[in-house]
Amino acid sequence: MAGKTNSSITNVAALANVSIATVSRVLSGKRDKDDDIARRVRAAAEQLNYSVNYAASAATSPTPSAWSSPAPRTHSAPNCSTKSNTPATPTNSS
């Protein structure tokens, strides 16, 4: 791809003089306001040819996605309890 750089969200934040979180919110559409900050972020992203890395976003997202699946549920085998129902009996070491 001609003109493509290895820009990161950190570069966009530095150029726009905002936090990484602000860049993330603006570019994901989660920022409600279309103000000077949002315009600066979009301009910086365009200037740096930055595009969102969706694989990286999915890997750090707290919401489940196709990339993750719940761990399988395991059941204890019979007679393999971590808690004993019988009282401990002192042993004589004489």
The reported pLDDT for the residue numbered 2 is 45
Torsion of CA 55, 62, 41, 9, to 10 degrees: -50
The reported pLDDT for the residue numbered 81 is 55
Q: What is the pTM of this model?
A: 0.54
Query: In the predicted model, what is the mean pLDDT of residues 11-29?
Result: 94
* Tens-digit pLDDT profile for residues 21-76: 999 999 988 877 778 999 999 999 999 999 887 776 666 656 655 555 566 666 66
Six token digits for residue 22 = 């602000």
The reported pLDDT for the residue numbered 42 is 94
* DSSP per-residue string spanning 41-77: HHHHHHHTT----HHHHHHH-SS--TT--PPPP--PP
